[in-house]
Amino acid sequence: MKLQERGARFGGLASPAPSRRAGPLTGLVLFVAKTLAIADMEVRKLRHDPTELLTRSVQPALWLLIFGEIFTHIRAIPTGSMPYLDYMAPGILAQSVLFIAIFSGIAIIWERDLGIVHKFLASPTPRTALVLGKALAAGVRGLSQAIIVYLLAWVLGVHLNWNPLALVGVVGFVLLGAACFSTFSLIIACLVKTRERFMGIGQILTMPLFFASNAIYPIAIMPAWLQAIALVNPLTYEVDGLRALMLGSGLSLSVLALDFVVLLVATTVLIYIGGWLYPRVAV
Amino acid sequence: MQALQHKQAPARVTLATEGLTRRFGALTAVDALTLSVEAGEVFGLLGPNGAGKSTVIKMLTTLLPPTAGRAHVAGFDIVRQAAEVRRVIGYVPQLLSADGTLTGYENLLVFARLYELPRHERDQRIHEALAFMNLADVADHLVNTYSGGMIRRLEIAQATLHQPQVLFLDEPTVGLDPLAREVVWDHLELLRAEMGTTIFLTTHYMDEAERLCTRVAIMHLGKVAAIGTPNDLKASLGGGEVTLDDVFVHYAGDTLESGGSYRETARTRRTVRRLG
């Protein structure tokens, strides 16, 4: 029987079955293929039950309609010549992406309790591919929020920039931001390991991430200590990039590149940490 | 080369552990386990809750690094060659591991891709596996509409899609009704007969061990208390009207009441509830 003959011997004498990995390129292709397999699986779950995406659209609608309308009229926040609703719309998109991503890690705890994680970890899948695949899927969820925010903003008369290149840029920033915050969420889930603790910590983190950023007011009006926090908050760079691309006013490529690089570096580091922590979930 | 091969004959050992040990703090869950399993065997690890069976499986499937000792699966070291080990094993965890929010087909598709099945074979292999497990009719239904026995069969299909050399099953029929257990056993026997897969399973059901296993090891407080064919073990108690239950009580009896942690019990019950 062929199956049994193949490398079925014990000890140092046996020559192991030849590895199918021929070189770094094949390795990279496999890595990408497996990342996409994980992302595809998560997207299929969303297709089977898209309720979450719809209920998630309520929050940005409330922010834009109530908070946005009121603060536009009282002109409490100095946004120069820009209408406050315009200023706020990209911030609300970033907020939606943050909120949908920051609790996504709880799925890991759920899957750990069910035993699903164990089976994936026992398969020949790089740990970083598991993490990146889930991050990509979070990006897809983020894109659904982008469509909703764009619709709302358009209805409310926000002056949107419809330049196709800028739209591609928005897609890129949404994917990257969702990947960044969902991986952060996954890391927390790997560390705390129970749903109760995770929900508590998620709540604690969400508010500072949101309010210590430029999402709904400029950094300039903050006290110095809060400005310092805002400058190391990835959400600030997400908002900055989205604001430049969505509104198209004062678009500076060098600032945009900085936003992108900061998010990319943060996400890459987080994915490596996530890939390192992920196997511990199964223990 | 010929001389080397001659030396290795006759037994083809597919899985072997040497002094395999795992400690959690002060607790030694697995204590210097040494055993070997030949190709084509169905090897059963028996023991009460908390005897260390699941910890052994987690180490052999590369999920948990051993504290000491070593082990080989299909010629690969479980620590130094973990990636190679993962290619040649299949694993059915004790807990419910199929995803209820995906269809049966999708549950297999993701593993077909992770196990690098060639694209042109994927669909055919998935449909063959579903047919083999009598799940062809429900391939496109969400798994959360399946019965416990169907889910188990789907999980075995997931774990054998890539034709592994060794299939690990952790408590394969816990929580299933008698009929569903029979069906799972039939499928495992068929799998072994048709693919020659070596099967390594844990159980605390004596009927399961007697029905499926060519050899069993009874674990007791992290150590092997007895090892042999079911018949040998029964004979070791003096023969006569001895059942495997008697053997089990003889070797592991004093831990029957104390075994098992709260967490493990809670998990088992949760699984039972979901499967039932």
Residue B168 falls in which region: left (phi positive, over 0), alpha (psi -120 to 50) or beta? beta
Break chain A into its structural domains and give their ranges. 26-282
Cβ distance of A3 and B165 shorter than 8 Å: yes
B24 → chain A, closest CA residue: A283
Beta bridge partners of B37: B15
Cβ distance of B64 and A283 shorter than 8 Å: yes
Res. B256 pLDDT band, cuts 50 70 90: very low
How many interface pairs between A and B have CB atoms less than 8 angstroms apart? 139
Residues 215-244 of B with CB under 8 A from A: none
Cβ distance of A7 and B165 shorter than 8 Å: yes
Res. B11 pLDDT band, cuts 50 70 90: low
DSSP-derived secondary structure letter, A64: I
Q: CA dihedral in degrees (B21, B22, B28, B31; nearest 10)?
A: -20
B83 to chain A: which residues are within 8 Å by CB? 124
Cβ distance of A4 and B39 shorter than 8 Å: yes
Q: What is the pLDDT of residue A6?
A: 36
Does A121 lie at the interface with B, CB-CB under 8 angstroms?
yes
What is the pLDDT averaged over residues B171-198? 90
ipTM for the complex shown = 0.85
Cβ distance of A123 and B114 shorter than 8 Å: yes
Q: What is the pLDDT of residue A9?
A: 32
DSSP-derived secondary structure letter, A7: T
What is the pLDDT averaged over residues B192-200? 92
pLDDT above 50: residue B4? no
Stretches where chain A sits below pLDDT 50 are 1-19
Encode pLDDT of B99-112 as tens digits: 999 999 999 999 99
Break chain B into its structural domains and give their ranges. 11-275
Encode pLDDT of B112-158 as tens digits: 999 999 999 999 999 999 999 999 999 999 999 999 999 999 999 99
Q: What is the pLDDT of residue A17?
A: 43
- HSE at residue B131, side-chain half, CA atoms within 13 A, is 6
Candidates B182, B139, B129; CA nearest to B160 is B129
- Give the DSSP letter string of chain B: -HHHHHHH-S--EEEEEEEEEEEETTEEEEEEEEEEEETT-EEEEE--TTSSHHHHHHHHTTSS--SEEEEEETTEETTTTHHHHHHHEEEE-SS--S-TTSBHHHHHHHHHHHTT--HHHHHHHHHHHHHHTT-GGGTTSBGGGS-HHHHHHHHHHHHHTT--SEEEEESTTTT--HHHHHHHHHHHHHHHHHH--EEEEEES-HHHHHHH-SEEEEEETTEEEEEE-HHHHHHHTTSSS--HHHHHHHHHGGGTTT---HHHHHHHHHHHHHH-
Q: What is the pLDDT of residue B258?
A: 46
Encode pLDDT of B150-166 as tens digits: 999 999 999 999 999 99
Beta bridge partners of B139: none
Res. B254 pLDDT band, cuts 50 70 90: low
Beta bridge partners of B28: B23
Instruction: Kindly report the pTM of this predicted structure.
Output: 0.86
Residue B157 has which token pair?
A: 């299909």
d(CA A70, CA A66): 6
Residues 70-89 of B with CB under 8 A from A: 72, 74-76, 81, 83-84, 86-89
Pick the CATH number of B11-275 from 1.20.58.220, 3.40.50.300, 2.20.28.160, 1.10.12.10: 3.40.50.300
Contacts of A15 (CB under 8 A, 6+ apart): A7, B75
Distances (CA, A) of A4 to B14, B186, B194, B196, B198: 9, 21, 12, 7, 9
Res. B249 pLDDT band, cuts 50 70 90: confident
